[in-house]
Chain A
Amino acid sequence: MAGVILKAVFKTFGKTTAIKNFSLEIDDGEFVVLVGPSGCGKSTMLRLIAGLETASSGEIYIGDQLVNEVHPRDRDISMVFQNYALYPRMTVYENMSFSLRMRKIPKAEIERIVRQTADLLRIGQLLDRKPGQLSGGQRQRVALGRSIVRNPQVFLFDEPLSNLDAKLRIAMRAELLLLHQRLKTTIIYVTHDQLEAMTMGNRIVVMKDGLIQQVDAPDAVYDQPLNRFVAGFIGSPTMNFIDCRVVSEKGDLYATTPGIRLKIPESHARHAEKYIDQEAILGIRPEHLTVSTNNRHLDAADRFKAVVRVIENAGSEKLVHIRNENDTLVARLERHIRLKTEETVDFTARMDSAHLFDKQTEHTIF
């Protein structure tokens, strides 16, 4: 097994640059997820690692070998494609054994490995079928099996779950994690689904327009996003962003809009000092908004009034769309809280969990 090292990788297609200055060290046995909106270059990066594309510049190492010029079959990787790419006219057994046959492994050995893998994935009874006779979930397993049999150093997964229905996808997520715990092989996993990224990765690489935005453990990406893009991309429903002005009153800093005035906690204040009397963007996650419980007087530093516009009942919780002046926010509330639309309600923001972003650069201020 081996890690993967990417050094300043660029990839251009004609005029578009799909990957820009991509550097990353992936440890042996790590489960790394590349996540980002469609078209941001995730697949391209994976294909560069696989050797299906050649980097325009930069270096790619698998283990300690520089592989830029190495053919995919010699990189000791395996890849699962979004459409699975099962060979349509071969049986499941032939599909799974194809790579071993290409490598001239003895027949008996092939048989043993394929059966063992099939049992691991519980597809032993499907070995004689053709891909056309399988359900989506079964095809997915066969594609997995085909990549496992070779016992490669690195698994590359390109949106392997996005063709499955929601329920199956969640089940397969857990199974893939179990598989990783068992095989302990490095996995580089591509998805556009931030939830999938959060639940699966040891580390998440958030990408946008071919550039790495942030590399961190899931919690860190969630709690300390490096910029507004990451803050907005990770988490659902998405973070509320409010254009505000930073003002200083009696030594305290406030983020203000025409209808909202929220105190910036002392712990964060020193980061925001540079922005006094300037515009900034306040970011508050929907779960950090709650209905104020007791009736303290209104100019409390973490409260504001808002009109309830829409209530989405999601069963375990409520998503409430609220409006203050020109700002629309979403609050994620517990299910037992009863609200009526058009009602004006007093909300409390957990300002110690809020973020402030530079309006121009969109970098995180705190």
Chain B
Amino acid sequence: MTPYGQKSNRVKWIGAPVKYVLFTVMMLTWAFPVIWVILTSFKARTDIFTLPPRIFFNPTVEHYIEAFVRSSDIARGTLNSILVATATTVLTLLVAVPAGYAFSRVTFRFRNQLSFFALMTQMAPPIGLIIPYFFILSRTGMLDSYTGLIAIHMTLTVPFCIWLMITYFQDLPVSLEESAAIDGASPFAAFFRVVLPSTWGGVGVTAIFAFIESWNEFLYAVVLTGSRTKTVPVAIFSFLTTEESLWGPFTATGVTIMAPVIVVALFAQRQMIKGMTLGATKG
């Protein structure tokens, strides 16, 4: 084999030193805001507004205490977010995984039309959805309900997850199910006993995306939720409404919102990037 590395040394677009400078700038550009939010959340009030900005300081958790203990909004919001995102994820998987499987495997009438339909629902602008949704829910007295929010979050997650699962199922050879059919398994048995156990990885990545989507979602939540079901991305605004900026509790809450996503990203970055770019690179 021709050594791959040798080629890459020859085909060089930019000299190595320039490349590393660029690399550092790029890393800073993208990682810095996140790091800065985290650092600020541990700074004492007096360390936040300093010139020049402080990188070294005595860390404190006072803002976390303030965010979670003094204002009941954040604690409740976090619990609401956990509840909504978890329910959205579970329900999404329940409908999207079977649908993704059928679209990837079964040739039924109107398959292309239906998968196009699923794709189009994902393109629909959220603002166009939320206006009638708000109207309908206000008429049925379902504003500020978990059900309403979970259902509308699923309009975001279901099409995307169907589409993602299709690509995972397509990686499995069809002969698995054919073999199972000859062995006497019904399509359901083949799905549950043969196919699904081989796709848990894909289901996991899909679940991660569904959870993050719902966890981060803002527009629907800000319109539909009230004091009872307010999620944490909505609740975080309470620190910045007045011009007296409470950067401390705000960043503490920001870290709370980002933390689960960052942790997941650290563990599953490879799979997540693959999932994100899959459709784009497969064409």
Touching chains A and B, CB distance < 8 Å: yes
User: Which residues of chain A from 32 to 83 have a CB within 8 Å of any chain B CB?
Assistant: 47, 50-52, 71-73, 77-79, 81-83
A residues adjacent to B (C-beta < 8 A):
47, 50-52, 71-73, 77-79, 81-83, 85, 87-90, 98-99, 102-103, 146, 150
| Chain B residues positioned under 8 Å from A78 (CB to CB) | 182
In the complex formed, the residue of A with least CB distance to B196 is A89
- Decide if A79 touches B182 in the complex (CB within 8 Å): yes
| Chain A residues positioned under 8 Å from B198 (CB to CB) | 87-89
- Decide if B182 touches A77 in the complex (CB within 8 Å): yes
- Decide if A98 touches B185 in the complex (CB within 8 Å): yes
User: Does B39 sit within 8 A of A, measured CB to CB?
Assistant: no
- Decide if A83 touches B175 in the complex (CB within 8 Å): yes
Q: How far is the CA of A87 from the CA of B180 in the complex (A)?
A: 9
- Looking at the complex, which one of A47, A83, A98, A146 makes contact with B173 (CB distance below 8 Å)? A83
25 contacts between A and B (CB under 8 A): A47-B178, A50-B178, A52-B178, A52-B181, A71-B181, A72-B181, A72-B182, A73-B182, A78-B182, A79-B182, A81-B175, A81-B179, A83-B173, A85-B176, A85-B178, A85-B179, A87-B176, A87-B179, A88-B197, A88-B198, A98-B183, A98-B185, A103-B184, A146-B183, A150-B183
User: Does B194 sit within 8 A of A, measured CB to CB?
Assistant: yes
B190 shortest CB reach to chain A, Å? 9
- Decide if B178 touches A102 in the complex (CB within 8 Å): no
Given A87-B194, A146-B179: 10 more A-B contacts, CB < 8 Å: A47-B178, A73-B181, A79-B179, A85-B175, A87-B176, A87-B179, A87-B180, A87-B193, A90-B194, A98-B185
B144 shortest CB reach to chain A, Å? 44
| Chain A residues positioned under 8 Å from B178 (CB to CB) | 47, 50, 52, 72, 79, 81, 85
| Chain B residues positioned under 8 Å from A77 (CB to CB) | 182
Given contact pairs A52-B178, A81-B175, A89 touches B183 in the complex (Cβ within 8 A): no
User: Does B278 sit within 8 A of A, measured CB to CB?
Assistant: no
Q: How far is the CA of A63 from the CA of B204 in the complex (A)?
A: 47
| Chain A residues positioned under 8 Å from B189 (CB to CB) | 102
In the complex formed, the residue of A with least CB distance to B197 is A89
Q: How far is the CA of A89 from the CA of B182 in the complex (A)?
A: 18
Q: How far is the CA of A269 from the CA of B173 in the complex (A)?
A: 55
In the complex formed, the residue of B with least CB distance to A75 is B182
| Chain A residues positioned under 8 Å from B176 (CB to CB) | 85, 87-88
Q: How far is the CA of A150 from the CA of B180 in the complex (A)?
A: 13
Over the window 120-131 of chain B, the binary record of Cβ atoms lying under 8 Å from chain A Cβ atoms (1 yes, 0 no) is 000000000000
| Chain A residues positioned under 8 Å from B193 (CB to CB) | 87, 98
Q: How far is the CA of A85 from the CA of B156 in the complex (A)?
A: 35
B168 shortest CB reach to chain A, Å? 14
Q: How far is the CA of A82 from the CA of B194 in the complex (A)?
A: 18
Q: How far is the CA of A304 from the CA of B113 in the complex (A)?
A: 67
| Chain B residues positioned under 8 Å from A50 (CB to CB) | 178, 182
In the complex formed, the residue of A with least CB distance to B185 is A102
- Decide if A102 touches B197 in the complex (CB within 8 Å): no
- Decide if A102 touches B175 in the complex (CB within 8 Å): no
Q: How far is the CA of A270 from the CA of B126 in the complex (A)?
A: 85
A193 shortest CB reach to chain B, Å? 20
Q: How far is the CA of A79 from the CA of B182 in the complex (A)?
A: 8
| Chain B residues positioned under 8 Å from A79 (CB to CB) | 178-179, 182
Q: How far is the CA of A81 from the CA of B178 in the complex (A)?
A: 9
- Decide if B197 touches A99 in the complex (CB within 8 Å): no
| Chain A residues positioned under 8 Å from B197 (CB to CB) | 88-90
A292 shortest CB reach to chain B, Å? 47
Give the one of A51, A78, A81 with max B CB within 10 A: A81
Q: How far is the CA of A47 from the CA of B177 in the complex (A)?
A: 13
B279 shortest CB reach to chain A, Å? 24
- Decide if A73 touches B184 in the complex (CB within 8 Å): yes
Q: How far is the CA of A150 from the CA of B182 in the complex (A)?
A: 11
In the complex formed, the residue of B with least CB distance to A104 is B184
B146 shortest CB reach to chain A, Å? 35
B70 shortest CB reach to chain A, Å? 50
User: Which residues of chain B from 128 to 178 have a CB within 8 Å of any chain A CB?
Assistant: 173, 175-176, 178
Given contact pairs A88-B198, A102-B189, A73 touches B183 in the complex (Cβ within 8 A): yes
A59 shortest CB reach to chain B, Å? 21
In the complex formed, the residue of A with least CB distance to B173 is A83
Q: How far is the CA of A85 from the CA of B190 in the complex (A)?
A: 12
| Chain A residues positioned under 8 Å from B183 (CB to CB) | 73, 98-99, 102, 146, 150
In the complex formed, the residue of A with least CB distance to B181 is A72
Q: How far is the CA of A72 from the CA of B181 in the complex (A)?
A: 7
Over the window 233-265 of chain B, the binary record of Cβ atoms lying under 8 Å from chain A Cβ atoms (1 yes, 0 no) is 000000000000000000000000000000000
